[in-house]
Amino acid sequence: MINVVDRADVLAASCIADLGDPAFWVAPDELRNSLALAVIESIQATRSHYTSVRNVLTRYDEYRRGASAADGAGELRASFNELGGPENWADRIGNRKPTSTQAGSPLKAAAIFEAAQLLHGRRIEHGADLRAIDDAGLTDMRSAWLSLPGQASGLTWTYLSMHLGHTPPGADPLVTRYVAVVLDVPERELDPDAVAALIGQTATQLDLTPRPLEYAIWRCVSGRPVLRPDL
């Protein structure tokens, strides 16, 4: 593995150029306390312009009369039941986008509903519940998530993990990809511990803690806006 811990100056310069002023970044706890919003965002975000994702989140919050910031799996599940199922939920809150480009694929709304059912059935109501699971339980939960309609790639699981704050430092593949591009090294040669150390050193140079920096990099690479939408 390549030792990259002495390259913090290079990564810091790239972050300044690519991510803008840290004072205006979307905070890493934006969705940390709302499992409902994190699930919706993670599944809606694939192959979508982020404006459409934000619109779905806004409509859900309006449906919940501004109370979505603390919603868990139970509240999300209840919204489907109240509206009569995924089809009606898609029309009222979500959209008609499918989980896959394959003909006949279910709506993303259906995957969101099944995700809420899965989490609620396992008594995972809030982000804190997922963060409290041990490694074996998390592996089992990931396997169950990948069995949801259109979620087999694992991409939305990595999104959910980053939003809820239980991704180990240096382990997110999109953050690793960014570091690899900036340092011009193959991704496969980057050790997660070295990436975490590099992020830590870079954060120190930028007068930050590692979590906000890693989250901003992740948002940038995943196509999400890095800066707050109210600016």
Same domain, 128 and 176: no
Q: Which of 117, 152, 187 is the last residue of a domain?
A: 152
- CB atoms under 10 Å from CB of 92, counted, come to 15
Summarize pLDDT for 3-57 with one digit per residue, the tens. Answer: 666 788 999 999 999 999 999 999 888 888 899 999 999 999 888 788 889 999 9
Amino acid in the structure at residue 217: I
Q: Which of 107, 127, 152 is the last residue of a domain?
A: 152
**Nearest-5° Cα angle at 50, 44 to 51:** 110
Q: What is the C-alpha to C-alpha distance for residues 17 and 176, in angstroms, rounded to an integer?
A: 18
Same domain, 24 and 39: no
Consecutive H or E run containing 200: helix 192-205
> Cα-atom radius of gyration of the chain, to the nearest Å?
18
Q: What is the C-alpha to C-alpha distance for residues 216 and 207, in angstroms, rounded to an integer?
A: 14
Same domain, 48 and 139: yes
- Domain hosting 97: range is 35-152
Same domain, 55 and 138: yes
Domain for residue 229, yes or no?
Answer: no
pTM: 0.86
Summarize pLDDT for 200-220 with one digit per residue, the tens. Answer: 999 999 999 999 999 999 999
